[in-house]
């Protein structure tokens, strides 16, 4: 069986399985072997569930023999970020606080993947509780970039991005609170989609910042991204923030072209400090959209300069509230032999959380405290409204916005660990999408010093159809789309 199968699209692999060119068991074994050969170096996975994956694959093979409907992702291995709960499969959020936690239920997205015939192959590494931009904050060690193992893959969903880039799996899920899907997708050279807030159920995603968190997919092609969105999108009564709107067929019309589409280019997104190589790659990507028939329109998003401060007030405040539940009492890590109740609380949280999580809890607790709530949290929510209004005005003029994902390519491991403020500024081009609840996607658009660069496309809420069609038009015109990592 040829390793070339590893580099086929998820849709192609599914067709091979259902047409009996290859069994789901053989295909799953091929990807499991790929993980075994590569993951000691790159550490994309925290857990690989080999026995269960092969059992799932055998069940798919049996269903095909019987002539049963096996679903749109039949036999396709999928990796799940460790932020998303999986029944019977350890879920730690890459934290000592949840070490050994085995959920009794599946997240809605995982349940939908299983029903679609996908093979859940394992859990991927991440920044602890999704707090970080480099996947260096994991309690279980960093993940490494697939193009240069001395560099970061981005974060917080770095493990999922690396798993897809290395062809350890065709598809993976991540979460995006301030760029945690799009940024690692850019730095690893894959496609990463952050859906509209509420388009995909968050039920079963361990909360970081509840008004910002969103689950979304990684893939190597835009059609594969559309295919998994067809499965995971849609209303869920278990998530009160999930939008009760019908889900279109994202694959339908994907290759329809973008003639007449208006693409906005925001002047504020070409920031000081952006490297020349990144700017050149982004400009080449925008030029491809124009060559494909899009009309370019210069736009302004005037409150962009306030996005980082606004985000790091709102996100840390919500994190402080959400992580208060980890107290050593009900579940999670508990300090050994505490002297009294206070000692148990303080030591459990001190020993269970890593330094970045502690930093954000303290920041969030401060901005929510008496005397500071109005000065910080309330003001940040007001500015968030202004940011959303900037996008509302822009989308009166354009259909899609095109801009960079990150001002730089993947930086070296350890380079920013001691400078959290500089690390936070890496999110400057991605966080406004979350603050405004928009869908956003990163698609490969070039290289700088042999490291990948991603083009970010944004659309108005529930605008995934035009977003994916525009991304597909760029993908079709991109000459290096077959270039491989690892």
Q: What is the dihedral of CA 181, 185, 187, 190, to 10 degrees?
A: 170
Q: What is the dihedral of CA 78, 82, 85, 89, to 10 degrees?
A: 80
Nearest CA-CA partner of 125 in 71, 87, 166, 66? 166
Residue linked to tokens 């060119």: 21
- Cβ density class 68-82: b for 16+ within 10 Å, e for less: eebbbbbbbbbbbbb
- Of the residues 23, 25, 81, 95, only one is catalytic, namely 81
Q: Is 165 helix (H, G, I), strand (E, B) or coil?
A: helix
Residue linked to tokens 């361990």: 206
The answer to whether 397 is a known catalytic residue is: no
- Of the residues 133, 138, 180, 186, only one is catalytic, namely 180
Question: Distance between CA atoms of 313 and 373, rounded to whole angstroms?
Answer: 10
Give the up-direction half-sphere exposure of residue 217: CA atoms within 13 A in the CB hemisphere: 27
Tokens linked to 214:
């969103």
Within 8 A by CB and 6+ apart from 375, the residues are none
8 A C-beta contact, residue 355 and residue 136: no
Tokens linked to 150:
């001395």
- Of the residues 156, 320, 442, 448, only one is catalytic, namely 156
8 A C-beta contact, residue 101 and residue 325: no
Strand partners, 233: 200
8 A C-beta contact, residue 485 and residue 165: yes
CA distances to 78, 147, 166, 225, 480 from 32, rounded to whole Å, are 11, 21, 12, 22, 27
The answer to whether 252 is a known catalytic residue is: no
The answer to whether 160 is a known catalytic residue is: no
Q: What positions carry a catalytic annotation?
A: 81, 156, 180
């Amino acid at each position: 069986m040829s390793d070339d199968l590893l580099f086929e699209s998820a849709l192609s692999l599914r067709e091979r399985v259902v047409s009996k060119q290859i069994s789901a068991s053989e295909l799953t074994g091929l990807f499991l072997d790929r993980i075994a050969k590569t993951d000691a170096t790159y550490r994309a996975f925290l857990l690989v569930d080999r026995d269960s994956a092969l059992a799932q694959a055998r069940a798919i093979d049996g269903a095909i023999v019987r002539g049963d409907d096996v679903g749109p992702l039949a036999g396709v291995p999928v990796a799940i970020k460790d932020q998303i709960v999986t029944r019977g499969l350890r879920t730690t959020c890459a934290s000592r606080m949840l070490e050994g936690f085995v959920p009794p239920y599946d997240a809605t997205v995982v349940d939908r993947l299983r029903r679609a015939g996908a093979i859940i192959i394992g859990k991927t590494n991440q920044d602890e509780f999704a707090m970080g931009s480099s996947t260096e904050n994991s309690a279980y060690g960093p993940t490494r970039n697939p193009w240069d193992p001395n560099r970061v893959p981005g974060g917080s969903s770095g493990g999922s991005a690396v798993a897809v880039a290395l062809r350890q799996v065709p598809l993976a899920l991540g979460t995006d609170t301030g760029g945690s899907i799009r940024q690692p997708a850019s730095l690893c050279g894959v496609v990463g989609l952050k859906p509209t807030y509420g388009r995909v159920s968050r039920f079963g995603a361990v909360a970081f910042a509840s008004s910002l968190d969103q689950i979304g997919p990684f893939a190597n092609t835009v059609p594969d991204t559309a295919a998994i969105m067809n499965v995971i999108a849609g209303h869920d009564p278990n998530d009160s923030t999930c939008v009760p709107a019908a889900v279109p067929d994202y694959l339908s019309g994907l290759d329809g072209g973008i003639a007449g589409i208006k693409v906005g280019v925001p002047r504020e997104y070409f920031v000081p400090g952006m490297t020349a190589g990144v700017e050149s790659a982004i400009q080449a990507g925008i030029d491809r959209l124009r060559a494909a028939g899009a009309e370019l329109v210069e736009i302004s998003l005037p409150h962009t300069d306030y996005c980082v401060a606004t985000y790091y007030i709102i996100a840390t405040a919500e994190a402080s509230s959400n992580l208060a539940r980890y107290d050593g009492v009900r579940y999670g890590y508990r300090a050994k032999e505490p002297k009294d109740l206070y000692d148990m609380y303080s030591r459990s949280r001190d020993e269970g959380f890593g330094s970045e999580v502690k930093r954000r809890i303290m920041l969030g607790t401060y901005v929510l405290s008496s005397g500071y709530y109005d000065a910080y949290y309330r003001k940040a929510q007001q500015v968030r409204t202004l940011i959303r209004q900037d996008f509302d005005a822009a989308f009166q003029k354009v259909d899609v916005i095109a801009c960079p994902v990150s001002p730089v390519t993947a930086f070296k491991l350890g380079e920013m660990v001691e400078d959290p403020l500089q690390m936070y500024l890496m999110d400057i081009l991605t966080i406004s999408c979350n603050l405004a609840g928009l869908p956003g996607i990163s698609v490969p658009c070039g290289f700088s010093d042999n490291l990948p660069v991603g083009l970010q496309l944004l659309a108005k809420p529930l605008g995934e159809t035009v977003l994916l069609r525009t991304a597909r038009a760029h993908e079709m015109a991109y000459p290096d789309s077959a270039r491989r990592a690892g």
